[in-house]
Amino acid sequence: MDKIRIVGGRPLSGTIPISGAKNAALPLMIAGLLTEEKLTLENVPRLADVALLQRILGNHGVDITTAGKRNGDDPHAGQTLEIDARAIVDTTAPYDLVSRMRASFWVVGPLLARMGEARVSLPGGCAIGTRPVDFHLDALRALGGEIDIDAGYVVARAPKGLSGARIVFPKVSVGATHTALMAAALARGESVIENAAREPEIVDLAQCLVKMGARISGAGTSTIQIDGVARLRGARHAVLPDRIETGTYAMATAMVGGDVLLAGASATLLESALATLRAAGAEIDVTNEGIRVQRNGAGIRPVDVTTAPFPGFPTDLQAQFMALMTRAGGRSRITETIFENRFMHVQELARLGARIHLDGDTATVEGVERLKGAPVMATDLRASVSLVIAGLAAEGETMVQRVYHLDRGFERLEEKLARCGAQIERLSM
């Protein structure tokens, strides 16, 4: 099993290219199930979750090819996938595949909408909370789907197709909004999704569906209107830049100091996180090339944050920000409102010398003068990268184990950091 070895204490300087967003690429790939024509996706990141979803879609009969590179292409640009779902041969998504990645459950909506049936295993994924699928299933029921649970599988049927409906989520859910949006695109009549997620990845999916012929308005607000169509066509769409990767490298730069250009990043996708970093003492400049992050000499100031749905502070940056606050000059409080079990990185940060006290959904961080390297173990995707950030600032050697979590969401992480001066390497065991 691979490990990542870090020798801390070096500032970062240079350029880090930002990859396409995993959280946008996965639903976009699944949207390929909605059409018999080819969907071409550009700027798709090379990640373990993307590769796994290719296998899952292939199980349904979807043919996915990687377009060849052309002379002059940026070697760090994302890959281009051509998704051909003209012949869906199986509407079952088996447990052994779906249990490994929660987002793969979202195939239930497109399969039901286009094929009139779906049998999808209940999902798995990172152990950061229960995250039930009730909202997904309630949305499909509202659209006319007949839903049963049988031996750990969701069995969905709509032999006469889906019909437009009013869907009201009692709580904002990104995944359920994805599911409802894709299913409603092929439902007869008009649908309205209320209390919809506003995340940029929802907007990206809606924009792609519109290119495919869907009639959607309001994406990016809490109310989305969809006028269903009989069929969708093929299209070409580029995945938006990864705001979580952007925020992660911005926090790493703020942690160790230096001057880094996050090439291709979009500031509009994470304004709350950038404002928080400015409050902590980092200099943030938005340029035509991306986002430039600097911290030279000034100390890290403590800042309190509370995670919230977009446009609030992202839960997917909570662990990284906690790592940053371990070196702040004072006390900060971090409150997690999205997932109930997302402080598993606290014990591992403590191994590096962090002082963190947990009280329910709030972590109080007492900044320390120094962190010291130690062996640590990743528990989930975002916790993993928080340990990398802390290791970059710690004295001596930090060894991060179970880094397969990192490969799910960060493309060539050690290479990108090493190019900016970090002493970091992957060790294959």
Residue 284 CB partners (closer than 8 Å, separation 6+): 250, 267, 274, 277, 278, 291, 292, 293
Neighbours of 159 (CB within 10 A): 7
Q: Please give the Cα distance from 8 to 69 (Å, whole number).
A: 36
23 has binding-site annotation: yes
Q: Please give the Cα distance from 180 to 138 (Å, whole number).
A: 9
338 has binding-site annotation: yes
90 has binding-site annotation: no
Neighbours of 316 (CB within 10 A): 22
Displacement of CA 20 from its chain's centroid (Å):
10
Residue 208 CB partners (closer than 8 Å, separation 6+): 28, 31, 39, 235, 237
- Known catalytic residue at 208: no
Strands (E), 175-245: 190-194, 215-217, 223-227, 235-238
Measured in degrees and rounded to the nearest 5, phi and psi for residue 48 equal -60, -40
- Give yes or no for a cis peptide into 27 (omega within 30° of 0): no
Measured in degrees and rounded to the nearest 5, phi and psi for residue 311 equal -95, 20
Strands (E), 71-227: 79-84, 92-93, 117-121, 146-150, 153-157, 166-168, 190-194, 215-217, 223-227
174 has binding-site annotation: yes
CA dihedral sign, ordered 29, 155, 339, 388: negative
341 has binding-site annotation: no
104 has binding-site annotation: no
Neighbours of 335 (CB within 10 A): 16
Give the DSSP H/E element, type plus range, for residue 173: none
Catalytic residue of the set 31, 113, 126, 262:
126
400 has binding-site annotation: no
Burial class (CB in 10 A: 0-12, 13-18, 19+), 87: exposed
Binding site feature residues for UDP-N-acetyl-alpha-D-glucosamine? 102, 171-174, 316, 338
Catalytic residues: 126
Binding site feature residues for phosphoenolpyruvate? 22-23
Binding site feature residues? 22-23, 102, 171-174, 316, 338
